[in-house]
Chain A
């Protein structure tokens, strides 16, 4: 549920990057941070361990151009992928508007992908949210590596639901399809917002890249 602040004329959307540990969620945000002009984004806040593993979350605020009197803000978060940080993931998922599930394409990460996806469903369920009602996209990351599973298996594992969502082969550290996945989710959530708030249409315009 986006936050609409009528006083400050702002609409805030929260997009969370979810997925198994070391799958590339933080790298996604780092790339997005590096490509957006500083005048349209805040600092990338990373609460990480000394080993650069996400401890709490990464946060990147992105502002858009004011249209129809309302400023549209996107707050991009990542969750810590490690199994032990489930409480943190639940906290980060609160009031989520859209999701990008970052799956690791390597063969030996398939089980972690499935477990993380199920964990996502469980954590959404605790907030009385259903994955099928949320805008989300799948990003099959690390496609540049040699030992990756074919896309049809990833689709079988993660996209074999009643609702088939958009999926993207990606290489987060080069930026391949990072923005495409984010754009897809953003479109979905803006459409959903327009359906739910027909009188209040946020139409954020694109800002120039860095």
Chain B
């Protein structure tokens, strides 16, 4: 009664036997699934399955073999189990969450490492997840259910340098096996020929059958990665530049020895399936062991004393540079949200006005750009134009960086500070004096001074002549020098410098020619104040960009 002893201990001590290094355990979003003990019928004689590798499987030798920790349970998406149920047994319940993960005790699963499938008794599935069944499964039911193993399990025995038959394997009884799940070390494109895909579908047990499928979905959840139409089951690699990964290593992995590598053009290969399965989560990490295997020998030793359960984040941006075009499939059964006859809502007119304004602003920018023969129109929207925008999105409009582009003549006479009204949450008409007064009134600040990088005071005061002279003459130069040096060391985006004395603290912000210095109230910035000051300065710089300051 291994299953029931597990089930009982699970009920009494939930989470006790959870592995510590589950890669998905760090993503809080993953839904948790608990078996409903009350609905499980009493069972006599649950068949036990061997935990060993089936006959014909291969054993792995070689010191580089990577073994993931064995988990007590195997997590399977509900949809996978549901779709594999025999005809007539699947519950037609549209409220089920297909991405819910069902935990099946490993000891009840017969694992086939060759074709990466698991087989479990229908009765056990019914016991852990009765709500997908239309009818109870009797204890004597001998039917079983075969499902593809999740990525975690498939990658448990990854990177096998040598594969040989186990000594106790009877060669006569070994059936011809498909290719072992060895990572393909080639630069071949990620797309596989159709024949290989077809072959694999047979390998995975997804044989074409006349069996009607259970209802394909359900409450419209995001499809789990297992439903990817291009899944082939073979391990494929994705080449990723190493330097962006090294730049974003967590502090515990950051090594001085890697700094030279960070600037090189080295690339590493990571298992595509591992990455692909995490794309719907918005974050991709790989276990340190896999990362180390992919690293060049020269820097691998830098990580010898690191906890092997550490996850290495892979920058999504870098992944997308190399991702095949069909790696982000949208559901084939999507129904576009139809609005029906347009109704003029209270916001329709304003929406149209805004669209018109942005269209005009964009055309103004276009014209001025053409006149000045500058190649780039908009740094931000050129990217989105190349993407597959949904067909139901509104007409693409290239926005200008500012909602209102004042004419040059008007700007010289009267800068428009309306963008700062939203920062200060006020309808009051703003000018430089009121803005600096409001800045001084921010929590934890005493005074504020707006000045130029060449030392001209515009408005406000620091409140101490000695400090003010220093601020005007020295701080912008210091800021510029530090910023330049940081930029050279690939640390761009310096926003502020704070100078501390025993009783005083003064911070300086710089945005091009414009600087904002603030005197603290003997304390560091309160949360959010620094960000707000940075925003204010950037809005001021925009508003004054056409002015002769």
* Interchain CB contact under 8 A, A160 and B346: no
What B residues does A168 contact at CB under 8 A?
A: 393-394
Residue in B29, B316, B334 whose beta carbon sits within 8 Å of that of A149 in the complex: B316
* Interchain CB contact under 8 A, A175 and B354: yes
- Whole-angstrom CA separation of A161 from B317 in the bound complex: 24
Which residues 393-442 of B have a CB within 8 angstroms of A?
A: 393-394, 397, 399-403, 418-419, 421-422, 425, 427
Residue of A nearest to B220 (CB): A162
- Whole-angstrom CA separation of A33 from B425 in the bound complex: 9
Residue of B nearest to A125 (CB): B97
Answer yes or no: B211 CB below 8 A from chain A CBs.
Answer: no
What A residues does B418 contact at CB under 8 A?
A: 34
Chain A 27-42: CB-based contact to B (< 8 A → 1; otherwise 0) = 1001111111010100
Answer yes or no: A1 CB below 8 A from chain B CBs.
Answer: no
* Interchain CB contact under 8 A, B346 and A206: yes
Residue of A nearest to B31 (CB): A118
* Interchain CB contact under 8 A, B320 and A110: no
Chain A 176-200: CB-based contact to B (< 8 A → 1; otherwise 0) = 1111101110111011000000000
Answer yes or no: A3 CB below 8 A from chain B CBs.
Answer: no
Answer yes or no: B490 CB below 8 A from chain A CBs.
Answer: no
Answer yes or no: B256 CB below 8 A from chain A CBs.
Answer: no
* Interchain CB contact under 8 A, B347 and A179: yes
Residue in A40, A46, A146, A188 whose beta carbon sits within 8 Å of that of B339 in the complex: A188
Answer yes or no: B526 CB below 8 A from chain A CBs.
Answer: yes
* Interchain CB contact under 8 A, A152 and B340: no
* Interchain CB contact under 8 A, B220 and A161: yes
Assuming the A-B contacts A51-B526, A171-B399, are A187 and B350 also in contact, with contact meaning beta carbons closer than 8 angstroms in the complex?
no
Answer yes or no: A153 CB below 8 A from chain B CBs.
Answer: yes
* Interchain CB contact under 8 A, A175 and B403: yes
Indicate the size class of the contact surface on chain B. Answer: 35 or more
- Whole-angstrom CA separation of A118 from B218 in the bound complex: 16
**Segment at the interface with A among B80-88, B114-122, B280-288, B454-462:** B280-288
A-side interface residues, number (CB < 8 Å): 82
Answer yes or no: B369 CB below 8 A from chain A CBs.
Answer: no
**Segment at the interface with A among B130-138, B297-305, B325-333:** B325-333
Least CB distance, B349 to chain A, in whole angstroms: 4
- Whole-angstrom CA separation of A148 from B283 in the bound complex: 14
* Interchain CB contact under 8 A, A161 and B221: yes
* Interchain CB contact under 8 A, A118 and B29: yes
* Interchain CB contact under 8 A, A52 and B528: yes
Residue of B nearest to A159 (CB): B390
Least CB distance, A24 to chain B, in whole angstroms: 11
Assuming the A-B contacts A50-B443, A111-B281, A187-B343, are A152 and B388 also in contact, with contact meaning beta carbons closer than 8 angstroms in the complex?
yes
Answer yes or no: A47 CB below 8 A from chain B CBs.
Answer: no
What B residues does A64 contact at CB under 8 A?
A: 346
Residue of B nearest to A188 (CB): B339
Which residues 164-223 of B have a CB within 8 angstroms of A?
A: 217-223
* Interchain CB contact under 8 A, B422 and A173: yes
What A residues does B219 contact at CB under 8 A?
A: 130, 132, 162
- Whole-angstrom CA separation of A112 from B29 in the bound complex: 9
Residue of A nearest to B532 (CB): A52
What B residues does A204 contact at CB under 8 A?
A: 345-346
Least CB distance, B229 to chain A, in whole angstroms: 13
* Interchain CB contact under 8 A, A151 and B384: yes
What A residues does B375 contact at CB under 8 A?
A: none
* Interchain CB contact under 8 A, B380 and A143: yes
- Whole-angstrom CA separation of A143 from B427 in the bound complex: 26
What B residues does A38 contact at CB under 8 A?
A: 427
Least CB distance, B98 to chain A, in whole angstroms: 10
* Interchain CB contact under 8 A, A107 and B316: yes
* Interchain CB contact under 8 A, B221 and A169: no
* Interchain CB contact under 8 A, A35 and B281: no
- Whole-angstrom CA separation of A114 from B317 in the bound complex: 16
Residue in B380, B387, B531 whose beta carbon sits within 8 Å of that of A145 in the complex: B380
What A residues does B339 contact at CB under 8 A?
A: 166, 184, 187-188, 191
* Interchain CB contact under 8 A, B349 and A208: yes
* Interchain CB contact under 8 A, B355 and A180: yes
Answer yes or no: A85 CB below 8 A from chain B CBs.
Answer: no
* Interchain CB contact under 8 A, A164 and B334: yes
Assuming the A-B contacts A164-B392, A176-B354, are A62 and B280 also in contact, with contact meaning beta carbons closer than 8 angstroms in the complex?
no
Answer yes or no: B47 CB below 8 A from chain A CBs.
Answer: no
Least CB distance, A82 to chain B, in whole angstroms: 12
* Interchain CB contact under 8 A, B380 and A111: no
Q: A34-B421, A204-B346, A209-B349 are in contact. List 14 more A-B contacts (CB 8 A).
A: A46-B425, A51-B526, A110-B283, A110-B316, A111-B27, A143-B381, A152-B328, A160-B331, A169-B393, A177-B354, A186-B345, A191-B339, A205-B346, A206-B350
A-B contacts, 21 of them at CB < 8 A, read: A27-B422, A50-B526, A118-B31, A144-B381, A146-B380, A149-B320, A151-B387, A155-B388, A160-B222, A160-B331, A162-B333, A163-B335, A164-B334, A174-B399, A176-B397, A177-B354, A183-B345, A183-B348, A186-B347, A206-B345, A208-B349
Give residues in B with beta carbon < 8 Å to A: 27-29, 31, 217-223, 279-283, 315-317, 320, 328-331, 333-337, 339-340, 342-351, 353-355, 358, 379-381, 383-384, 386-390, 392-394, 397, 399-403, 418-419, 421-422, 425, 427, 443, 526-529, 531-532
